[in-house]
Amino acid sequence: MELKLKKHPWFRGRKGPLLLVIMDGIGLGPQDERNAVFMAKTPTLDRLFASKLFCRLQAHGTAVGLPTDKDMGNSEVGHNALGAGRVFDQGARLVNKAIETGKIFESELWQQIVERGKKGGTIHFIGLLSDGNVHSHIDHLYKLIDKCAELDLKRVRVHVLFDGRDVGEKSALNYVIPTEEKLAKLSLEKGLDYRIASGGGRMKVTMDRYEADWRIVKRGWDAHVLGKGRPFRSAKEAVETYYKEDPDITDQYLDSFVVVDEKGEPVGLIRDGDVVINFNFRGDRAIEISRAFTEKEFREFDRGPLPDVIYAGMMEYDGDLHIPPNFLVWPPAIDRTVSEYLCAEGVTSFAISETQKYGHVTYFWNGNRSGYIDEKLETYIEIPSDRIEFDKAPQMKALEITDKTIELLETGKFRFGRLNFANGDMVGHTGNMEAAITAVETVDSCAGRLIKVVNDLGGITVVTADHGNSDEMFTIDSHGNRKPKTAHTLNPVPFVIVDSQYGGEYEMAPLEKRGLSNVAATLLNLLGYEKVEDYDPSLIQFKH
């Protein structure tokens, strides 16, 4: 299909570039001490939020393709919506439908899994034990386990990764205890052998992303596959021991552990003839462990002998690189992204972020597509992230991103650019208020620098966010006690246009609903094009 944009009948854009600044994790929360964005000194944001060209966008729930408006947004679905210009069913909603209809159990792959189980192979499940609905949902795991029991597959092992980011920071036992009880009940009532085998916190074990630290994946491999790790008789015992040894530790940073029997032997080694199912539906933190299980020429760490297993993801985590080769639920087919249209029109562009969010301004923005759309027209820049807990260095790489972006803008080669500042999200996840305030102030300062440069070049800057996080850093219980909040928020996010040559040609459109998917059409308008016919409406309307 040939992609074609129509020139706007009378607005041709500006002489300078259009820059999209995505302030990851900076939402519009309560204006009180819980909100690091409100508590920070933000002269740039204060000025922007008072602009006539400002509005609020929904960045969670149905506005980004998730099942309900109780579901928090995340950077993946957020950037999908920003780049796609319309809403697609995402992650949990896709999996929910596949399970509800039984489609997930009708594939040839599932039949191969069942056959291995019938022949004595163990069915292993690896994933985030959480109901945060961002990377996974515990209900999906339970439905898969129930199906295994219904089919009389004798041996199941679960390798649990603790959340503490998208749910309460010390809530692991709320998920571990019911899971151990469920597995024990199935084993007793049906004569099966179902157990938790290993685990650890998501930021220490298995769930690295963007190749930031392969040691995280190796810890998971050692525990899940080889049975190497600190031994405990149960996952519950492991969590309780870690809490006792370090009362300040949170779930996401719990060390790896291995469940052993009365003889001290691991109960869940992964061996030839087994099946491994990654029950996470979100891709970024599932890709590296998937590569470890499926790549023959793997050089990131020493795996030892690669077991002959069927490895399947809940979904295909990378559609272009086909990681993993086997998956249970097909991802949304996101076509005709805004960048595809811009490339078809010959518009030059760049995308830049640090490692933690580089995939968001490239892969997710482009509709879950790896690599360039048109290498002749596009430039992608990755600034390597520091390998350090983010509250220890809350400026992250914002200054380096800003410097490089200014360098790109001043070349005059690019009509459009997009960048992501990761600070508000990654530091917000730590629960450290002081660090989050520094993170927000850093982004505010950097955004101010960028706006000045774009103004000097006669261009337009659009400032928004993909979801909230730092805008709600703690909750207060009925006793007046503060409880750190490390998850994303359900708050709206800002959207504001800074147009150096604005003469009242347009205004914010009076839309009934405004979400991230409305941004793409807005960008097209600001570049001098009409919106694509089936894109969601632009956030601006031109005065005739």
With b meaning 16 or more CB within 10 Å and e meaning fewer, what string describes 474-491?
A: beeeeeeeeebbbbbbbb
Type of residue at 470? S
Contact 202, 164 (CB under 8 A): yes
CA 258, CA 489: separation in Å to the nearest integer? 33
What is the number of other CB atoms lying within 10 angstroms of the CB of residue 362?
Answer: 26
Type of residue at 162? F
CA 385, CA 354: separation in Å to the nearest integer? 6
CA 87, CA 537: separation in Å to the nearest integer? 12
CA separation, residue 94 to residues 100, 104, 490 (Å): 10, 10, 21
CA 57, CA 10: separation in Å to the nearest integer? 27
The rounded Cα 39 to chain-centroid distance in angstroms is: 26
What number of residues does the chain have?
544
Torsion angle of alpha carbons 441, 444, 450, 456, nearest 10°? -120
User: Which region, left, alpha or beta, applies to residue 210 given φ > 0 means left and ψ of -120 to 50 means alpha?
Assistant: left
CA 470, CA 37: separation in Å to the nearest integer? 6
Contact 433, 30 (CB under 8 A): no
With b meaning 16 or more CB within 10 Å and e meaning fewer, what string describes 512-534?
A: eebbbbbbbbbbbbbbbbbbbee
Q: Cα Rg for the chain, rounded, in angstroms?
A: 24
DSSP H or E run through 355: helix 355-359
CA separation, residue 526 to residues 7, 81, 187, 415, 497 (Å): 11, 18, 61, 11, 9
DSSP H or E run through 456: helix 433-456
Strand duo 123-128 + 54-57: pairing: unpaired
**Catalytic site residue from 75, 130, 290, 353:** 75
Closest Cα partner for 375 from 357, 350, 355, 412?
350
CA separation, residue 15 to residues 447, 454, 506 (Å): 21, 11, 17
Active site residue 75: yes
Where helices occur in 55-107 by DSSP H, the ranges are 75-84, 91-101
The 3-state secondary structure of 476-516, one letter per residue: ECCCCCEEECCCCECCCEEEEEEECCCCCCEEECCCCCCEH
Catalytic site positions? 75
